[in-house]
Structure 1
Amino acid sequence: MTNPSLCLVMLFLCFSLCRSQLPIPAKIDGFVYKKPTVWGESVVVEAFLDPVCPDSRDSWLPLKQALDYYSGRLSLVVHPFPLPYHSNSFTACRSLHIANKLNSSSVYPLLELFFKTQEKYYNAPTYGMPRASIVADMTKLALTAVGESFSTAFYSGFNDSSTDQAARISFKYGCSRGVAGTPSFFVNGMPLSNSTLDYNKWRSIVDPLLSKNKN
């Protein structure tokens, strides 16, 4: 038997969601990887990655190999997507936004540092750690990519509401695209059903598209 009160609540939520507008950022979300000179003409990959997700880490190397092979013919935008069951992921994603604000060229080196050291930020090793200690440790890691001269500014970034908002928008943007896990990939705007992609699989996807573009 249907509960009338529950139905009313569900109708109210649906009405609220339909009326509410997701925040629209001044610039498109994401970090462009080595923006190519043919931006707008190349095949564009959008990757939704969690810095503390082992599957995101494992997907990065073959994707990077494909980017190196295709050079400017393949473009990449990474959208940080903090999975809620990775307790420290939002802080890591916020670190990427702080790095982007202070020194945009440090974003991808920092992402790779998170991939290399992510096990120390898993739930179990940090269970008893206060958030301040985790922020301090991530800041220390980030400064090796951003630069020690940004030490004070990076710490201050965690008290800057704009970096908090940027990290939230990244998550909401992924949700608006139907992303539910990481890694998730879109090629020229279309979602890929398979997120386990080695270098050869990337080649099999991109080669035909570039051939069509050339024709």
Structure 2
Amino acid sequence: MGEPVAFFLLCFSCVIGFSELSAAQSPIPARYDGFVFGGDSAWKGSVMVEAFFDPMCPDSRDSWPPLKQALLFYQSRVSLIVHPFPLPYHSNSYASCRALHIANTLNAASTYPLLELFFKNQEAYYNYPTYNRTRVYITDEFSKLAEEAVGKGSYSAIKSGFNDSQTDTAARISFKYGCSRGVMGTPYFFVNGIPLPDYGSALGYNKWRRIIDPLLKMKQ
């Protein structure tokens, strides 16, 4: 999670910026921000979970397995959208979030496998190991990693994506969207639009069951 006060000020200034520039509205994306788990409609389930993840955040990494376990248990009754949210104090976070947008554009089915690859290989790119590495090196490494998820032979298209202004815009919109929802760290969860307390901590499988089971019973 880390440095919440400084990050609150960053998010607050972002939101204030929206107010001051209301006459020149920020671009509206063609679709709702984020990546839907399973590739179905985001609104198919009775319960909607939104997760703000940073691929370079250890807490985001630890929170994914129990959440995925819950999703597989509930199947179509619960939907998930993951919003990439790069934290400025995690090295290479923005590039990893941009890689998710690139992968999603090339092969939507590869987005979650790539997120899992980032979590699996996180320690190789998180802060200290890459302090002396250039941006070119990082984008090259991330392009190689993304190729494993997108498909063999996709390296050139992925690498080109890092020079595409549209993927840069998409990653920026994801960050601004999180700021507009008051997100100040990762992981950060919303259930049916309501934020869960204690952001920045992984929720266990049993905790997810205690949150979701009563909501589904109310729909019966």
**In the alignment, which residue of structure 1 is the partner of 2:209?**
203
Distance 2:117 2:192 in 1: 28
Q: CA deviation at 1:86?
A: 1.1
Q: Contact 1:99 / 1:154 at 8 angstroms: preserved in 2? A: yes
Q: 1:179 and 2:183 equivalent? A: yes
Distance 1:15 1:186, change over 3 A: closer
Distance 2:204 2:219 in 1: 23
Q: Contact 1:36 / 1:72 at 8 angstroms: preserved in 2? A: no
**In the alignment, which residue of structure 1 is the partner of 2:85?**
81
Q: Which amino acid is the alignment partner of residue 212 of structure 2?
A: V
Give secondary structure in 2 for the equivalent of 1:39.
coil
**1:48-81 Cα shifts (integer Å, max 9, x gaps):** 0000000000000010010011011011000000
**In the alignment, which residue of structure 2 is the partner of 1:39?**
43
Q: Please list every run of 5 or more consecutive structure 2 residues that lacks an aligned counterpart in the other structure.
A: 1-15
Count of aligned positions: 203
**In the alignment, which residue of structure 1 is the partner of 2:69?**
65
- Which structure is larger by alpha-carbon Rg, 1 or 2? 1
User: Quick one: which of 15, 25, 31 aligns to 2:29?
Assistant: 25
Distance 1:139 1:38 in 2: 28
Q: CA deviation at 1:204?
A: 0.3
**1:17-65 Cα shifts (integer Å, max 9, x gaps):** 4545232101000000014579344200000000000000000001001
User: What percent identity do the matched residue pairs reach?
Assistant: 63
Give secondary structure in 1 for the equivalent of 2:48.
strand
Q: Which amino acid is the alignment partner of residue 170 of structure 1?
A: S
Distance 1:94 1:122 in 2: 16
Distance 1:151 1:43 in 2: 37
User: Taking structure 2 as the reference length, what is the TM-score of the superposition?
Assistant: 0.87
Give secondary structure in 2 for the equivalent of 1:112.
helix
User: Taking structure 1 as the reference length, what is the TM-score of the superposition?
Assistant: 0.89
